[in-house]
Amino acid sequence: MKLNNKGFAISTVLYSLLIMATLILFLLLGNLSFERRTTSDFVDNVKTELNAFADSH
pLDDT of residue 55: 87
Whole-prediction pTM value?
0.65
Q: Which residue type, as a one-letter code, is found at position 24?
A: I
State how far Cα 18 lies from the chain centre.
17
d(CA 42, CA 39): 5
Q: pLDDT: is 5 or 40 the higher one?
A: 40
Question: What confidence category does residue 28 fall into, taking pLDDT thresholds of 50, 70 and 90?
Answer: very high
Question: What confidence category does residue 1 fall into, taking pLDDT thresholds of 50, 70 and 90?
Answer: low
**Residue 13 pLDDT more than 90?**
yes
